[in-house]
Amino acid sequence: VMAVLQAVFQLIAGIYAPITDYKIYIDILLTLFFGWQIVKAFADVVALPVAKRQGEAAGKAVSNLMKLIGIGALVSALAGAVSGGPAAAALGGFIGLVIGFATQQVLGQAIAGTFLLLARPFKIGDRIVGAGQEGVVEDITAMYTVIRDAEGNKVLIPSTKLVGDILKIKKQ
């Protein structure tokens, strides 16, 4: 597509020479337009299986995350194309830091949840006391452990709270 547009642009530039002064701006607009179309399509393809397994809200969250990462990649690519490699590398590093800080808690939860799933300090059906809560374990996921308390309430305890806190497993 870009090759065809470049050929059309060269043809127009041959007829109307002053348009070449605006070539960089036209290239930026075309890159943003087609790049955004690709990012949206990729985000939808990635989010579809998540939405089927985890629900519409999880699929939308994954789609939005992919779009944010795609926007960062587009901006980095444009910075590299316009001002050279060092600008793109600096911008890419900055975007990486922003994404890292933004997802720090989520990644911590996922790592703690993986630890709980592998170490298995307790299992479904155990009565536990941890993170100031007591109840019977109903489910263990990467992000949360689901317990049912004495009043019958469903309580979601973040995995980092159980890994970093004293955990008491009561006898049945």
DSSP 8-state assignment for residue 93: H
Structure tokens belonging to residue 117 = 């799933």
Mutual angle of helices 104-119 and 85-102, in 10-degree steps = 60
Quickly state the pLDDT bin for 134 (edges 50, 70, 90).
very high
Instruction: Say whether pLDDT at 133 is over 90.
Output: yes
Q: Model-level pTM?
A: 0.50
Q: How many CB atoms lie within 10 A of CB 47?
A: 22
What is the structure's pLDDT at 39? 94
**Which is more confident, 7 or 162?**
162
Q: What is the mean pLDDT of the chain?
A: 84
Confirm if 154 and 146 have CB atoms less than 8 A apart. Answer: yes
Beta strand 154-158 pairing with 167-170 = unpaired
CA distance 160 to 171: 24
What is the structure's pLDDT at 16? 61
Residue range 66-122, pLDDT digits in tens: 898 888 888 877 877 777 777 777 777 887 788 788 788 888 888 888 888 888 899
Residue closest to 134 by CA, chosen among 116, 150, 146: 150
Instruction: Say whether pLDDT at 126 is over 90.
Output: yes
Average pLDDT over residues 55-60: 83
Average pLDDT over residues 49-56: 85
Average pLDDT over residues 29-39: 90
CA distance 31 to 37: 10
What domains are there in the chain, each with its CATH number?
2-102 (no CATH), 122-170 (2.30.30.60)
